[in-house]
Amino acid sequence: MGMVRVGAFSISIDGYGAGPRQSLENPLGVGGRALHEWAFATQTFRRMFGQDGGSTGVDEEFAARSFRNIGAWILGRNMFGPVRGPWPDDAWRGWWGDNPPYHTPVFVLTHHPRESIVMEGGTTFHFVVGGIHAALERARSEANGKDVRIGGGVSVIQQYLQARLIDELHIALSPVLLGSGEHLFGGLNMAELGYRCTEHVATEMATHFVLRRE
């Protein structure tokens, strides 16, 4: 069985993994885009946007690692889109257009049922109303022995951490301050949950930490 892991998740110096007031205009919350500048500059992420070039080195290695051996994803509803409450219709199909970057089954946590959406490039969005354990069970089944990546947002990662279900967590600490938003480690005692830092390295754009559960 593969690992359950978080990859390339960026937080600010003051610990926020997303800015406040997420909207269609600010999908990462106000100021949230600055958290991910290290990733946007890499070859891996530039290819996702159909662009050439990009940085190499440590930042690129962590970006590329985050996509290796992934058999399924789990996302919170906010990571799929800004729509709240019952789905008004089937018009919203995600932030990424017709060919999202996942290329695997993606399980979206929600309180409101919706039919699955088959996208280009191998991505299918499935909507799970049974909670984090139900989503993980389905994701593991579809992953066929590969890793399951918990893509976020903050609330979803916190729930899986509290349940001791995440094996590895890669955090990229970006040199920015948000002041408010969603605090990743708020209310969590990572040491008591069994996590230890097993790797850390700094670049000009971010400081990368890998936490693993013992």
Reported as a single tens digit per residue, the pLDDT across 188-206 is 999 999 999 999 999 999 9
Mean pLDDT of the chain: 94
Is pLDDT of 23 > 90?
Answer: no
Least confident of 89-93, 147-151, 188-192: 89-93
In whole angstroms, give the CA distance from residue 92 to residue 154: 22
Helices (H), the chain: 37-40, 43-48, 58-65, 77-80, 132-143, 154-162
Give the pLDDT score at 50.
Answer: 80
Give the pLDDT score at 21.
Answer: 82
Name the architecture of domain 4-84+99-213: 3-Layer(aba) Sandwich (3.40)
Is pLDDT of 111 > 90?
Answer: yes
In whole angstroms, give the CA distance from residue 116 to residue 127: 6
> Pick from 155, 87, 144, 151: which is nearest to 116 by CA?
87
Bridge partners, 32 (sequence order): none
Is pLDDT of 29 > 90?
Answer: no
Planar angle of CA 3, 101, 59, nearest 5 degrees: 70
The predicted model gives 49-57 an average pLDDT of 87
In whole angstroms, give the CA distance from residue 100 to residue 122: 9
Say if pTM beats, i.e. exceeds, 0.85. yes
User: What's phi and psi for 151, nearest 5 deg?
Assistant: -85, -15
CB-side neighbour CA atoms (13 Å) of 187: 9
Give the pLDDT score at 209.
Answer: 98
> Pick from 86, 88, 91: which is nearest to 110 by CA?
86
Give how far Cα 44 sits from Cα of 56, 65, 117, Å: 9, 10, 25
pLDDT tens digits for 55-65? 889 999 999 99
Give the pLDDT score at 70.
Answer: 98
User: How many residues appear in the chain?
Assistant: 214
Single-letter code of the amino acid located at 113 = P
Give the pLDDT score at 93.
Answer: 92
CA dihedral for 56, 61, 66, 69, sign (positive or negative): positive
Between 95 and 164, name the one with better pLDDT.
Answer: 164
In whole angstroms, give the CA distance from residue 190 to residue 198: 13
Residues 6+ away with beta carbon under 8 Å from 158: 184, 186, 187, 188
The predicted model gives 69-81 an average pLDDT of 95
